[in-house]
Amino acid sequence: MSAVTTPTSSTTDAASAGSPDEPLLEVEHLTLSFKGLRALHDVSIAVRPGELLAVIGPNGAGKSSLFNCISGVYHPEAGTVRLAGRTIDGLRPHERTALGIARTFQELALFEHQTVLDNLMTGSNVSMRHHSLVDMLRLGPSLRQELSGRETVEEVIAFLDLAHVRHHPVGALPYGWRKRVVLGRALCSDPRVLLLDEPVAGMNQEETEDLARYMLDLKEQRGLTQVLVEHNLSVVLDIADRIVVLNFGEVIADGTPDEVAADPQVQAAYLGDQHVPSQGPTT
């Protein structure tokens, strides 16, 4: 895969979050339960600007619940989520997206009968501020946003090498290419933080290596902050700056890939030799 220019935007600039030592995304003491079953308990995570953080853990560890709390799908009964120092508790998912939190899901959720370009444009539209009269008349602010959105889409197409399939229906593409479009759609929203939910699941080795390279390019060339949930541990160990391990809704390890791989609690959790809380399995 050849190196290409990454999307450019002031909102993805790590410097916009302040000092590199200050977290861009903070999760503090999150607690979440479903009908008495504990999904998260006192979970705290801080993600620095430009960091590629991986969140791993056995099935039912609470990884998806954590992402749902960050993106606003779930509202925890305790705890706080902050973006660049701003508390975003209570904001709905689209409001968090407008502030710069983009997310991919395990399910593709693409418009399969529409083209790659059309699908990418839906990601660009999410970040625009809409004013009905201004939009209908295509006045200055609306037109500027539209032109900026189109520019971002073109940059994403170039970055992800999608030019030759831009007018193809997404449903006609191989699975690995559709996953690439999912990543591109999230990038078109011009995120400050990108949440990646099992981005390489179901992909073959070549497709996995390609997508991992794109994630590294986003970090190294653009400094985009990424939080990754992934079951493919070889990918996680290869590309993550830091790894947080969840087990039964609690953080049991937080460190570099080497530190986490050597942690006895992590090894026990993955081998099944862990203590099962009385609350039962997580959601």
What confidence tens digit (pLDDT) does each residue in 264-279 have?
A: 999 888 876 544 343 4
What's the CATH code of the domain at 93?
A: 3.40.50.300
Residue 242 sits in which domain range? 20-100+192-283
- Whether residue 162 is found in the same domain as residue 225: no
Count the domains in the chain: 2
Band the pLDDT of 35: cuts 50, 70, 90.
confident
Same domain, 167 and 122: yes
- Give the model confidence (pLDDT) of 207-231 as tens digits: 999 999 999 999 999 999 999 999 9
pLDDT confidence of residue 148:
65
How do residues 91-107 score in pLDDT, each as one tens digit?
A: 999 999 999 999 998 88
Last residue of a domain, one of 150, 175, 190: 190
pLDDT given for residue 130 in this prediction: 46
51-92: per-residue pLDDT in tens? 999 999 998 899 999 999 999 999 999 999 999 999 999 999
What is the Rg, in whole angstroms, of the alpha carbon atoms belonging to the chain? 19
Average pLDDT over residues 142-148: 61
C-alpha 33/C-alpha 177 separation (Å) is: 36
Q: 95 and 61 share a domain?
A: yes
Q: What is the pLDDT of residue 147?
A: 67
Assess contact for 87 and 51: CB atoms under 8 A: no
Residues 26 and 85 in one domain: yes
Residues 95 and 205 in one domain: yes
Q: Does any domain span residue 13? A: no
Tell me what pLDDT residue 19 has.
63
> Is 90 exceeded by the pLDDT of residue 11?
no
pLDDT value of position 186: 95
Q: What percent of the chain has pLDDT over 90?
A: 71
Say if 198 falls within a structural domain.
yes
- Mean pLDDT lowest for which of 59-68, 118-127, 174-183, 246-255? 118-127
Rounded mean pLDDT, 162-178: 95
Average pLDDT of the residues of the chain: 85
And the tokens for 233?
A: 């541990």
Q: What is the pTM of this model?
A: 0.83
Q: Reply yes or no on whether the pLDDT at 118 is more than 60.
A: yes
